[in-house]
Amino acid sequence: MKKSHDYLFIATLIMMAFLVAAAAFKAYDNYVINKEEQEFESQEMAAIMARNAESQRRVTEMEAEIAQMVDDLESLQTFINDTVTAANEVQIRKSTLSVSENVVSVLSGETLKDSVSDNMPVYGAMTVSGNYTVSGDYTVSGDYVVSGNGLYIDGTAVSGNEAVPALSGAVLSGNGAFGMGILSNSISGNGAFGSGVSGNGAFDSGISGNEGFVIDISGNSVSGNGISGNDISGNSISDNSVSGNLTSLVNASGNGYYGTWQYEPPEMSLEERRTLKTSYEETLEVNNADREIIASNQYDFSQMKIACLGDSITAAANLENEENYTQYSYPSVLGEILGAGEVVNLGIGGSSIGRYWADAYVERYMQIPEDTDIIIVMGGTNDGFCVSDNEFGNLNERTPRTFCGDLNELMKGLRENYPHAAIFFATPLPNVLHDYLMSEKEYLLPQRYFADAIRTIAREYGIETIDLYNSNILDSHDANIVAQYMPDGVHGNHEGYRIIAEHFAAGIVEYYK
């Protein structure tokens, strides 16, 4: 009996040894796999960092080029216009999609892009090659010209009720599918495109109930527009749109959503403002209004601490060769205007919001003192110089080391760690260097994407937004702005930084009224 127990004990030991060995081998395999994954991620990040370092080097060269042109406004404006055209052409090439069998709806930002069997290269609006292809000057080839204020390649479509006079008899009515971009207003009529295309009802049942953006084309070919031979039947695409950038959904009323987070279009987009005033005119007008608001201030900021998190625009790093240059930075001027007790400048030249470049905001925002009363974050410019579709990510997943993911982490962290502070987040100023770099590096994204993401996530966390991008102030696509306020196309001079400070001060005064 004792021997049986001994044998059983030995067998148990042997079995345990086998189990321990198997577990050890499994742990080793997992270790090897994890190590390989980490090495791959490390190599991939190193490649991204090297690519972004080259982009930043090129930006420095571009700043010098712009600075050399400021004495000849006519030549500078011609250069700016040519640069924008080149960048738009790159985006058109990138955005041309070909789907051989199905209609794929792509909502990126506020933009609908459809393509069918290589016959419908699209960017910004429904265009059909052959008859209605949007060309470089934004006319629709054939007989139709885009009317109103023009179609802008970065996604905001024609304003007003005259987006496209007619598509084979169907007129976009009411608020219009293209009033302020596909997502801005509800779409009246019987479907996404009024009465459909060529009377065949291709999009008649486009938006119904709570189905998001459901396109169901059955039986009818889209005729008269260069694709009559391509019948589309029984294909339905619902809920999730396809986009490497801002993945969007549309609810039944036509209001835009990024995933499940509601996107609210700006009161007036940059493109619409540009049709009414030049940036120079708008800057002067807004600055006068800001000064009136500041002059009416009754609030005492003398005991308040302000912290400004940002990049070289916050640090005024371009003025570092001047003695005591930080006095000209917008945080210093802002403190003087408000009579604030203390201002902490956390601007670092070249830094980005996300972790794909240097001194990421998301990794250093905790440097903001705990007793800060007002927090201002201004960023996104360097992100725009670095980020591809992969690094941009999307607002559904918000993966770390993407713009959307790290921006979400930053705003969430600010809200949780500084619950008593008033938090303001500024979208980046539109700058010509972004277009210049985008014309050379096709992986870059339009600057509007970054501004839209900032506004969307800020709204979710109840963070105040100072929408510089859509304000049309200090836009270096205007040669007069470059000459007067932003001599290298992206950084301010003394007066440029003062205008930023006064704009922020006016917003803060309004907040505390």
Q: Are residues 117 and 185 in the same domain?
A: yes
d(CA 297, CA 285) in angstroms, rounded, equals 19
What DSSP assignment string belongs to 102-163? S---EEETTEEE---TTS---SSS---TTTS-B-TTSBBSSS-B--TT---TTS----TT-S
CB 168 within 8 A of CB 198: yes
- Give the range of the structural domain holding residue 262, as residue numbers without chain letter: 105-269
> Where among 269, 301, 317 does a domain terminate?
269
Task: Enter the pTM of the model.
Answer: 0.66
In a domain, 28, yes or no: no
- Which are the contacts of 477, defined by CB distance < 8 A and separation ≥ 6? 80, 84, 279, 430, 431, 432, 435
- Between CA 181 and CA 238 the distance in angstroms is 20
Q: 214 and 240 in one domain? A: yes
Tens of pLDDT, residues 200-246:
333 333 333 333 333 333 333 333 333 333 333 333 333 333 333 33
Amino acid at 27: A
Find where tokens 């040894």 sit.
Answer: 17
Domain holding 473: CATH number?
A: 3.40.50.1110
User: Within this chain, do residues 407 and 448 fall inside the same structural domain, yes or no?
Assistant: yes
Residue 218 tokens, joined = 């059955």
Same domain, 264 and 283: no
Question: Do 174 and 308 belong to one domain?
Answer: no
Residue 220: name the closest of 195, 241, 198, 192 by CA: 198
Last residue of a domain, one of 227, 246, 269: 269
- Would residue 201 count as lying in a domain? yes
Residues 158 and 238 in one domain: yes
Question: Same structural domain for residues 411 and 292?
Answer: yes
In Å, how far are 303, 330, 349, 426, 490 from 343, measured between CA atoms? 11, 10, 18, 17, 23
pLDDT tens readout for residues 315-367: 999 999 999 999 999 999 999 999 999 999 999 999 999 999 999 999 999 99
Please tell me whether residues 317 and 265 are part of one structural domain.
no
345's enclosing H/E stretch is strand 342-347
> Is position 18 within any domain?
no
- For residues 192 and 147, state if they share a domain: yes
- Based on the domain organization, do 288 and 213 belong to the same domain? no
Can you give the three-state secondary structure of 232-248, one letter per residue?
A: CCCEEECCCCCCCCCEC
Centroid of chain to Cα 433 = 16
Asked whether residue 10 is domain-assigned, the answer is no
Where among 240, 269, 298 does a domain terminate? Answer: 269
**Are the beta carbons of 111 and 446 closer than 8 angstroms?**
no
User: Is 63 contained in some domain?
Assistant: no
Residues 225 and 303 occupy one common structural domain: no
Q: Is residue 444 part of a domain?
A: yes
pLDDT tens across the length of the chain (513 residues): 556 666 676 777 777 777 766 676 666 666 555 655 567 678 999 999 999 999 999 999 999 999 999 999 999 999 999 999 999 999 998 877 433 333 344 344 333 333 333 333 332 333 333 333 333 333 333 333 333 333 333 433 333 433 333 333 333 333 333 333 333 333 333 333 333 333 333 333 333 333 333 333 333 333 333 333 333 333 333 333 333 333 333 332 333 333 334 556 788 999 999 999 999 999 999 999 999 999 999 999 999 999 999 999 999 999 999 999 999 999 999 999 999 999 999 999 999 999 999 999 999 999 999 999 999 999 999 999 999 999 999 999 999 999 999 999 999 999 999 999 999 999 999 999 999 999 999 999 999 999 999 999 999 999 999 999 999 999 999 999 999 999 999 999 999 999 999 999 999 999 999
Q: Is residue 480 part of a domain?
A: yes
Q: 252 and 295, same structural domain?
A: no
Tally of domains in the chain: 2
Within-domain flag for 366: yes
